[in-house]
């Protein structure tokens, strides 16, 4: 087992609120351990292009409350190539970096897994994505903040929907996961959520019409998970206009505003705990694992499980929404 004295930390993929709290926790706990820390800018791109600076405790001062990532981020095509990863490894050795903490989503952790395997570099991942789609952790860093942001927006849209007796389809992010749509629908008291995990024989739009056109309700809000497959909120609004022209339909796509903003206390605490745990994991000799929190306990999830396993949405949540939206 390699004796770790120097680590690098990077954020990769889509930014998520709370990433700064994670960078801060990794930096400070590594320094506390007596290690040297390098901040790697723009994710894997920064490792390839040697955009690397030594971090002190002051480097992360006054960052816990800030959204985005002070290290910046990128989705690197070059890192997908072996040549790109070779360049990255050369820079890692140049700075004497013994191990990496990678904060990001599925793609970022898949990159870490590949890199660790090819070059025998100990890597520990932290789940940083608003999508909450990593297996083995109850919540990912940024998910709670994004959820709260969405709920705030839906509350506002509700005012205008009610005033005009309209049906609103509100599209939210999540890539292939419906956590943001399902839980924001419950929290905002929406009439329905259309999510990828609930693809059954029953048409989710028809189901909503059947249940939701209840007598006293003259406005409705439907949360729609973005989807490459069926076109998201626009698609459902179009169908509604064609199949049920009696409704006055509008669409709102919340887009990237969901990724910004001050992290909630929940995300700050989650990121702080995970950051400290990542450094402890490396110190214990763990490698190629994502650190998560399950039932309030720190857990180590091997990369292949965290990345590949589907994280199911609890049917109970689907049931709760359908009961409460009668
Ligand atoms: O993975 C986070 C996420 O915000 C997804 O919800 C969304 O599909 C994607 O990133 C958008 O990516 P980009 O910012 O590169 O357009």
Q: For residues 29 and 1, is the Cβ–Cβ distance under 8 A? A: no
The confidence score (pLDDT) of residue 215 equals 52
The pair of structure tokens assigned to 2 is 């390699």
Convert the pLDDT of each residue in 167-188 to its tens digit: 999 999 999 899 999 999 999 9
Which of helix, strand or coil describes residue 218?
A: coil
The confidence score (pLDDT) of residue 214 equals 57
The confidence score (pLDDT) of residue 226 equals 95
> 326: buried, middle or exposed (CB in 10 Å: 19+, 13-18, 0-12)?
exposed
pTM: 0.96
Q: Which residue has its alpha carbon closest to ligand 1 atom 1?
A: 14
User: Among all chains, which residue has been given the structure tokens 């205008």?
Assistant: 160
CB-based contacts of 322: which residues, under 8 Å, 6+ apart? 211
User: Please, what is the Cα angle at 289 between 298 and 98, to 5 degrees?
Assistant: 115
Interval between CA 237 and ligand 1 midpoint (Å): 22
Q: Which residue has its alpha carbon closest to ligand 1 atom 3?
A: 14
Looking from the CA of residue 75, the nearest atom of ligand 1 is 15
> What would the DSSP string read from start to end of 160-214?
HHHHHT-EEEEEE--TT--HHHHHHHHHTT-SEEE-GGG--SS-HHHHHHHHH--
Interval between CA 160 and ligand 1 midpoint (Å): 28
Interval between CA 255 and ligand 1 midpoint (Å): 9
Q: Which residue has its alpha carbon closest to ligand 1 atom 14?
A: 14
Active site residues: 131
Mean pLDDT by 10 residues, the chain (326 residues): 88 98 98 98 98 98 98 96 97 98 97 97 98 97 98 98 96 96 97 86 73 69 86 92 93 98 98 98 97 98 94 93 90
Residues with CB under 6 A from ligand 1: 14, 105, 129-131, 173-175, 226, 259
Interval between CA 211 and ligand 1 midpoint (Å): 32
User: To test ligand 1's pocket by mutation, which of 13, 15, 131 has the most ligand atoms within 8 angstroms of CB?
Assistant: 131
Span between the terminal Cα atoms of the chain, in Å: 59
Q: Minimal CA–CA distance to 290: which of 172, 173, 128? A: 128
Q: For residues 60 and 70, is the Cβ–Cβ distance under 8 A? A: yes
Which of helix, strand or coil describes residue 290?
A: strand
Q: Which residue has its alpha carbon closest to ligand 1 atom 11?
A: 14
Which of helix, strand or coil describes residue 284?
A: coil
Q: For residues 138 and 312, is the Cβ–Cβ distance under 8 A? A: no
Strand partners, 54: 38
The confidence score (pLDDT) of residue 130 equals 98
């Amino acid at each position: 087992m390699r004796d770790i004295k120097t680590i690098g930390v990077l954020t990769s993929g889509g930014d998520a609120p709370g990433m700064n709290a994670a960078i801060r926790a990794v930096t400070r706990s590594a320094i506390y351990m007596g290690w040297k820390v390098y901040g790697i800018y723009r994710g894997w791109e920064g490792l390839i292009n040697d955009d690397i600076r030594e971090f002190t405790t002051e480097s992360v001062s006054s960052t816990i409350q800030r959204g985005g990532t002070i290290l910046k981020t990128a989705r690197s095509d070059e890192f997908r190539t072996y040549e790109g990863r070779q360049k990255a490894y050369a820079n890692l050795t140049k700075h004497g970096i013994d191990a990496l903490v990678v904060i990001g989503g599925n793609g970022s952790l898949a990159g870490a897994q590949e890199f660790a395997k090819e070059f025998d570099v100990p890597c520990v991942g932290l789940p940083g994505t608003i999508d909450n789609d990593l297996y083995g952790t109850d919540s990912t860093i940024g998910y709670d903040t994004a959820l709260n942001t969405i709920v705030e927006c839906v509350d506002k849209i509700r005012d205008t929907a009610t005033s005009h007796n309209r049906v609103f389809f509100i599209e939210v992010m999540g890539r292939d996961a419906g956590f943001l749509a399902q839980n924001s629908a419950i929290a905002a008291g929406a009439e329905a959520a259309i999510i990828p995990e609930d693809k059954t024989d029953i048409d989710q739009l028809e189901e909503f019409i059947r249940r939701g056109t209840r007598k006293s309700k003259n406005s409705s809000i439907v949360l729609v998970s973005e989807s490459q497959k069926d076109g998201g909120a626009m698609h459902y609004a179009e169908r509604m206009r064609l199949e049920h022209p009696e409704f006055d339909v509008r669409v709102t796509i919340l887009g990237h505003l969901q990724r910004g903003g001050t992290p909630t206390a929940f995300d700050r605490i989650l990121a702080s705990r995970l950051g400290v745990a990542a450094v402890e994991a490396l110190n214990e000799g763990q490698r190629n694992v994502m650190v998560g929190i399950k039932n309030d306990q720190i857990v180590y999830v091997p990369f292949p499980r965290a990345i590949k396993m589907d994280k199911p949405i609890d049917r109970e949540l689907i049931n709760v929404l359908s009961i409460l939206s009668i």
